[in-house]
Structure 1
Amino acid sequence: MAGNRPIPKQLWKAAALSGMASYLDAGLIVSISVNLAIYRDSYDMGVWMAGAISAIVTGCIAVGSLIGGRLADLFGRRRVYNWDIFCFALGAIVITLAPDDITLLAGVLIAGLAAGADLPTSLAVVSDAAPSWARGRLVAFTQVMWMLGIAVAIFLGFVLSTTGMTGARLITGQLAVAALVTWAMRSRLKLSGEYEDDDAPRTEGERAPSGVALRNVWTRAALLPMAATFVFYVTWGLGANTFGQFGTYLLVTVSDASQSLATGINLAFIPIGVLLTLAFVRLADTPWRDRLFYLAASVQILAFVIASLTAGALVGMLVFFVLYQISHPFAGETNYKVWSQLTLPPDTRGTTQGLTYALSRAVYAVAAFFTPALLDYSPSVLLWTITACMTAAACAGVFIIRVLVPRSPAVPRDRADLRVAGTEQPQQT
């Protein structure tokens, strides 16, 4: 069975190095959230500056995704893949050593743009490097790295909560170190294929191969899967992003939990998500990947219905967290990543997925701006709105499974492929 075929270690290495984009993306967002109160006190920041830094993180990731995905398709995915992680490291170093809020803001701008640029690029690289029978598992593994990025940032924030600015610098400093190590390892990663000479100078006519012309994005083959994956990701992500940014805030202000209890609840349930995401990786190249989506999406909707019916009461929220953590690994961002690689045309994959990332993150940023006010007005209205979004995401997922996935080519190979050297496998018969 193809889904059970062993994957060469070199391909897992490529997946891990690509997954660092997700690790750093999640780590940046969570570390800024964890450190924001410390920054506010240490830099004597005004309320508008504190709000600007929070919003700019998400906004820059959106802009970076849009630009980075297109640049990768134009100038070579390996080149962008290597250098956006280096730019992230520079931004994280600036954040870590920032003596004032203006310098901090500059570091957030650099790191946010670089993190956004790396997301679609790294997914395209690992997808292009993978044989078709291993693509689902390798792409899904990047989501494990995303979960680890959240877990490490929250854990360090909990352990270093009494150390003030020193702890804040350690939390962001580990991101800088991780990015530099990843950059060094990516630079030595051996890739072969038709884009092997990406770093060689090109003439004006060669700079943008016909397969990556911008007009190719506006074809039915690209627009339909791009629209479907966008609808799924933006509706599902509105709920996930809201609870990622404001879950602790909701537990404290609505559920009357203490700060320590609220933080502990979030930390306690993360291992469930990590373990079940690993389970998804094992199933990502089998029919069970999409079969389990139906059940998981139903449980996920039920979780938000319970939270909405109880209006955010603590008991209801505890039930919600259990149901949500056991369902989202099988009906969430991991599915979006795999479906995108299966259904989007390979030659414009960086551009098209960059667009879906960028537009979705922009929507999340706008929604985050209004979330505290909506929570203050009516927690029930917010929770029922998210429930409706999760229902829409489930419908989009069903459409992708029933209509788009069956149309995806069995062995999608073309000019955009970047194979890891020494791992070529014979095609299935």
Structure 2
Amino acid sequence: MAGTRPIPPPLWKAAALSGMASYLDAGLIVSISVNLAVYRDSYDMGVWMAGAISAIVTGCIAVGSLVGGRLADLFGRRRVYNWDIFCFAIGALVITLAPDDITLLVGVLVAGLAAGADLPTSLAVVSDAAPPWARGRLVAFTQVMWMLGITVAIFLGFVLSTTGMTGARLITGQLAVAALVTWALRSRLKLPDEPPETETGAAPEAISLKSVWTRAALLPMTATFVFYVTWGLGANTFGQFGTYLLVTVSDASQSLATGINLAFIPIGVLLTFAFVRVADSPWRDRLFHVAAVVQILAFVIASLTAGALAGMLVFFVLYQLSNPFAGEANYKVWSQLTLPADTRATTQGLTYALSRGVFAVAAFFTPALADHSPSVLLWTITACMTAAALAGLFIIRVLVPRSAREIPGGADLRIPTTSPAGLSDKEH
């Protein structure tokens, strides 16, 4: 089976360095969330400034994804890949050392834009270098890094919860250090089979924006966007407001609500590793069918119980078991397999940007909707998850098989032809 073939260490290194985009993206969002109360007290923030900082993180990531993906296709993915991580480090340092809320806001702007720019660019870089039989695993591994970003930020927030601004600076400081180390390693990274670039770092041929609006690009871009935005509305709601909903709707204590979220993180990490193992095999899409049904069932139970604590506990169990096999990791892999290679960064940057914009708007209204009617909120999310499952089925049944036939560098889950020595003609 294609998914069992060993991947050379240089490609795993590339996947880890590209995955740092996901680590820093998740780490930035969670760190700001964890530190927000500390910032509010230390900088004597008003409620509008606190809200602005929270919204700007998501908004800047959206804008950065849109602009960064396009710049990568125009001026060279490796050039943008190296410099956006350096810009993130600068932004994270400004956040860490900020003496006031205005400086903090500047740091959030820089780090958010850079994090957004790095998401589609880094995925395109590792996808360019990966042979078809390894592309799924290497791209899926970036989702492991995303989970680690959340885990580290929440763990540090828990351990440093009584240390005030010192703890807040350590939480964001580790992001700056991680970004600088990643920048240094990316600058020296050598990959096989990556597209050549000119001496100035630009792509050999500038890709016209018209290429994005062809049927070959538009159909998979639309399908992956519909999947990601509908699935993400549920995932983002519980990512940002899971603790809030447990406290305000389920009547859990703050410590219990935090403990529930922390307890389920290891499950998500382990199952994301499991997804990586099957990401290049037919089991990737077979498991999606089961996981999507379980994921919908989880939200149905939460909705039927109107967010009661017992129902929410069942929800969290089912959601964590299913999410790694029917969530963002699928979106990342499907995008690389179905989108044309020459516009991959631009098109995925566009789907990232539009989705994050929708998430930001939805987050603004979520607390009010939860206060008005938890049932309406939960049933709305259930409908979104159902739509995501249908979009995923379309991608699996139509787009992935088509990409294996029509799109250069597309999906190829067939067992490869081997030489007498046992090596594929595609192996290096």
Range class of TM-score, shorter chain: over 0.9
Aligned residue number for residue 244 of structure 2: 249
C-alpha contact 2:144 2:269 (8 A) present in aligned 1: yes
Q: SS of 1:286's equivalent?
A: coil
> Any residues of structure 2 matched to 1:83-162 within 5 Å, and which?
83-162=83-162
C-alpha contact 2:68 2:117 (8 A) present in aligned 1: yes
Aligned residue number for residue 8 of structure 1: 8
Aligned residue number for residue 414 of structure 2: none
Aligned residue number for residue 22 of structure 2: 22
Aligned residue number for residue 261 of structure 1: 256
Runs in 1 of length 4+ with deviation above 6 angstroms?
Answer: none
Aligned residue number for residue 426 of structure 2: 427
Q: SS of 1:217's equivalent?
A: helix
Alignment match of 2:398 (pick from 399, 403, 406): 403
> Any residues of structure 2 matched to 1:4-403 within 5 Å, and which?
4-193=4-193, 195-200=195-200, 209=205, 212-403=207-398
Q: SS of 2:369's equivalent?
A: helix
Q: Deviations over 1:314-358 (max 9, x none)?
A: 111110000000000000000000000000000000000000000
C-alpha contact 2:11 2:191 (8 A) present in aligned 1: no
Q: Deviations over 1:278-307 (max 9, x none)?
A: 000000011000001000000000000000
Q: TM-score, normalised by structure 2?
A: 0.94
CA distance in 2, matches of 1:165, 1:223: 46
Q: Deviations over 1:2-46 (max 9, x none)?
A: 211000011000000000000000000000000000000000000
Q: Deviations over 1:368-391 (max 9, x none)?
A: 000011111111110000000000
Structure 1 residue 411: deviation in Å? 9.5
Aligned residue number for residue 420 of structure 1: none
CA distance in 2, matches of 1:396, 1:382: 21
Q: TM-score, normalised by structure 1?
A: 0.94
Alpha carbons of structure 1 residues 12 and 208: separation in structure 2 relative to 1, 3 Å: closer
Q: SS of 2:404's equivalent?
A: coil
C-alpha contact 1:75 1:198 (8 A) present in aligned 2: no
Alpha carbons of structure 1 residues 133 and 251: separation in structure 2 relative to 1, 3 Å: same
Q: Deviations over 1:23-74 (max 9, x none)?
A: 0000000000000000000000000000000000000000000000000000
Residue type of the alignment partner of 1:364 = F
C-alpha contact 2:10 2:191 (8 A) present in aligned 1: no
Alpha carbons of structure 1 residues 251 and 372: separation in structure 2 relative to 1, 3 Å: same
CA distance in 2, matches of 1:274, 1:201: 36
Alpha carbons of structure 1 residues 333 and 230: separation in structure 2 relative to 1, 3 Å: same
Residue type of the alignment partner of 2:425 = P
Structure 1 residue 213: deviation in Å? 1.1
CA distance in 1, matches of 2:302, 2:204: 50
C-alpha contact 1:143 1:277 (8 A) present in aligned 2: yes
Structure 1 residue 201: deviation in Å? 6.8
C-alpha contact 1:79 1:199 (8 A) present in aligned 2: no
CA distance in 2, matches of 1:425, 1:124: 24
C-alpha contact 2:79 2:201 (8 A) present in aligned 1: no
Structure 1 residue 395: deviation in Å? 0.3
Residue type of the alignment partner of 2:402 = R
**How many percent of aligned residue pairs carry the same amino acid?**
86
C-alpha contact 1:132 1:411 (8 A) present in aligned 2: no
Structure 1 residue 209: deviation in Å? 1.5
Q: SS of 1:190's equivalent?
A: coil
CA distance in 2, matches of 1:8, 1:344: 25
Aligned residue number for residue 412 of structure 2: none
